[in-house]
Amino acid sequence: MIALIINAIPAPVWAALVGMVAIAAAWLGGRRSGSVAARNKAAIKAADDLQTAKDARDEVDSISGDDVSERLREWNRK
């Protein structure tokens, strides 16, 4: 019964269906790679922000007194 239905559908219709499936697969693949790239970019930015914060802490640890307040003001201006 199923074979009869499949044989009743003309070849150009099958070709159109295959083309639509290929377009949908390419579109979904592009969306996925875009979201992966966005996630990687966010992870790199977070790591950079953490490194900047660590550098600021290390620099503040190396100074004392009124210099700390001045250095923190400089870091906040950047």
* 47-73 pLDDT per residue, tens: 999 998 888 888 777 666 667 777 777
The span from the CA of 54 to the CA of 69, in Å, is 17
Cα dihedral sign for 65, 70, 71, 73? positive
The predicted pLDDT at position 63 comes to: 67
Query: pLDDT averaged over the chain?
Result: 85
Q: Record the pTM.
A: 0.49
Chain-centroid distance, C-alpha 64: 41
